[in-house]
Amino acid sequence: MDIKQALTIVSDKDKKSTYRLLFMLFLVISLSIILLSNKFSSSDSQLQQILNRGTLRVVTRESPTTYYLGYQGAAGVEYQLASQFAERLGLKLEIRAVDSITEILTALQKGTADLAAAGLTITEERKNEFYFAPPYQEVSQKLVFKQGKRWPRNIEQLRGDLRVMADSSHALKLLKLKQKHASLGWSETVTDTSEDLLAKILDESIDYTISDSNELALNRRFYPELAIGFSIGKPEQLAWAFDKTHDDSLRAEAINFFSDIRASGELAQLIERNYGHVEDFDYVGTRKFLQAAKNKLPKYTELFQTAAGLELDWRLLAAISYQESHWNPHARSPTGVRGMMMLTRTTAKELGIKNRLDVEKSITGGAKYFSAVLKRIPERVQEPDKTWLALASYNIGWGHVEDARILTQKQGDDPNRWVDVKERLPLLRQRKYYKKTRYGYARGDEPVQYVDNIRRYYETLQWMIDVPDSLFNKPEINDQSAEQLLATTKPPETDKIKNKKLKAKKPIEDVAAENEE
């Protein structure tokens, strides 16, 4: 064999080796493509993974506006929305409450939560890292200090310790303000919650904090010493947050969800249930009520419990009584109504009450009268709207409330929802509206304020007083009736809204026909 033949043989072997290498490389590339294709296929989207898992993991924080455990169980606006969203997807809701905004954002980034429902403000900085669902509420940021201390009216007048939650929108807002106010200083905490900071204001551990308007409004019902110095910046929007490293499938479902509940009116109803009665704050009135609840109410608690029985929540009855008489047995109005429940002479006579100043008889009579009013509300009206409409009727009469309901339906809204009817009641003062009604003119703004006041008192009593154990220790109450008792004492603001399409509204003639019942 000469050299030329030897080189030819070596060349053939090299070609075979090269072909083998190319073939192996082709197999590796093909397999990689198949694996990547499976990984990013639509069947393995974030939403599909969650559906396969069977649980929706939501991270939140504990506060009256987001999530908390009341005596009836889990409650809060974010909890109610998340529960409804999970139910819509056919999933079990898994709530994880953490202490700081930092932990919430970290949970999203690490993938230990599918979404954050925690009263998060949409900011430009956050939009760089997270996707947001459509906003569900607008809030403003308030500088909070303790009543009685020096009132700061702007940033330049702050003198003391200002503390906010780390990674919060409040901290981001202060960073921007620092550019214009070089002397501005503050501290950030990863251990204190927003409510902890409000408590530190009250015990004077710190001088100032910043709170969202909705959270502050709920807390001022119980802590009227929380005062507002000034608003910081423009109103901002709250929304759910999603990590950007995932696909958009879960967020797309959330967009559809909020679109549906906004169109159906369910979102507006939820916001009204939780905040509609706390928009106006009365410092003196709130302090007076808290003092009366502590000093006066204990003398009458047993009478309210007995009169309420199993049909009413005694705290609601007590709230009605405070609105009527401030728990004064000898109260009397210029119109002649008298006593703890301020009964008219006619009503007292119908109830067989001879002495309206008799505390026990007045409370019992008021309970019977309110129960009768409550039973007049059509059965199709759901709680808590049924109770709010009954309270309005207790104040102004069912006829005028029915006029407002008919007007509500004529204007395209739901006559069975208090959030819609309360907008029409004040219109009964205007001739162009009341001249077309059956019962005519009415001071319709008064029952709206009346209901809002009672809702505030009722909710405060729920916060101050647990369900008395004695009500469950009666031998005649079995397990089933105990559950019924819990149902009657359920706080309306924390009821979950079921995710159901609204039924078709009744014809106007059907609503009007209820006057004949």
The tokens describing 147, both together, are 């009543």
Fill in the DSSP letter of residue 184: -
**Is the separation of the CB atoms in 400 and 442 below 8 Å?**
yes
| DSSP string of 310-364, one letter each residue | TTS-HHHHHHHHHHHHTT-TT-B-TTS-BTTTTB-HHHHHHTT-S-TT-HHHHHH
The tokens describing 420, both together, are 């819609």
The tokens describing 299, both together, are 């003398």
Single out the catalytic residue among 215, 236, 272, 324: 324
CA dihedral 122, 127, 131, 135 (to 10 degrees): 20
Residue among 90, 99, 86 at smallest CA distance from 58? 86
**Is the separation of the CB atoms in 404 and 424 below 8 Å?**
yes
- Cα→Cα distances 39→30, 32, 121, 227, 372, Å: 14, 10, 33, 54, 63
Contacts of residues 509-515 at CB distance under 8 Å and 24 or more positions apart, as own/partner, are: 511/402, 511/405, 511/406, 511/409, 511/415, 512/402, 512/406, 512/438, 514/378, 514/402, 515/399, 515/402, 515/438
324 is a catalytic site residue: yes
Euclidean distance between CA atoms 469 and 108, whole angstroms: 42
* Burial environment of residue 296 by CB neighbours within 10 A (0 to 12, 13 to 18, 19 or more): middle
Omega of the bond prior to 152 within 30 degrees of 0, cis?
Answer: no
DSSP alpha helix (H) spans, 130-275: 169-178, 194-202, 213-220, 249-264, 266-275
The tokens describing 451, both together, are 């209901």
Euclidean distance between CA atoms 314 and 489, whole angstroms: 8
R_g over Cα of the chain: 31
DSSP alpha helix (H) spans, 40-61: 46-53
**Is the separation of the CB atoms in 204 and 146 below 8 Å?**
yes
**Residues marked as catalytic:** 324
